[in-house]
Amino acid sequence: MARSTRTNDWGFPRWREYGASREATTVRLCDRHGCGEPGNCPAPKSPNSPERWYFCQVHAGEYNRGWNYFEGLDAEEAAEREREERRDASGYEQSRHQSWAGSGDGTRSRDEMRSLEVLEVEVDASFDEIRAAWRRLAKSNHPDVRPGDADAATRFQAIQAAYEVLRTAEERRSWKPA
């Protein structure tokens, strides 16, 4: 009987999963002496050096606990470097506010944003500011203050609905399970 030379990689669908070749794969071991785990977490051997250690996750965590970024600097130089790096990274923190969802930092829903517009407050207003704006607008548009004004009555209802949306959202955020 003739021996088959056919492989499992012919046709579609493949008869075995991708990456399941028969060749041996190279596995880099952890650089920590005596460790036999795969070393897939690179760590610098020294500051500003392209050379790397390759540790397993356990030894990478141990390495990171002992790493001092400001080693060799006095207190003034360390404070200056930290201040300089925070200045350079400030743009990343600001970009959080320019997300695709619109204005704000993404913590408020679309209904809450509309309610803030009705109450004429900023998107980052605290709940105390929201309550003060609600009281001010409700007093000026109340049907008892402006009898017979249909526009004021409609505005008053919109103000009340906006405040209810924001109040329930605030209660939901501040609620903590017992």
- Residue located via tokens 């930290």: 82
C-alpha distances out from residue 157 to 62, 105, 119, 120, 139, Å: 61, 28, 12, 15, 12
54 touches 28 (CB < 8 A): yes
The answer on pLDDT for 94 being more than 60 is no
For residues 104-116, average pLDDT: 81
Number of DSSP helices (H) and strands (E) in the chain, helices first: 5, 2
Q: What is the pLDDT of residues 42-62, one digit of tens each?
A: 888 776 778 888 889 888 888
Domain extents in the chain: 110-173
**pLDDT score for 128:** 94
> Any idea which of 2-16, 54-68, 75-89 has the lowest mean pLDDT?
2-16
CATH topology for 110-173 is Helix Hairpins (1.10.287)
| Cβ neighbours around 176 below 10 Å, total | 4
Give the residue, 12 or 116, on which the prediction is more confident.
116
pTM over cut 0.75: no
Q: Is the dihedral of CA 17, 19, 25, 29 positive or negative?
A: negative
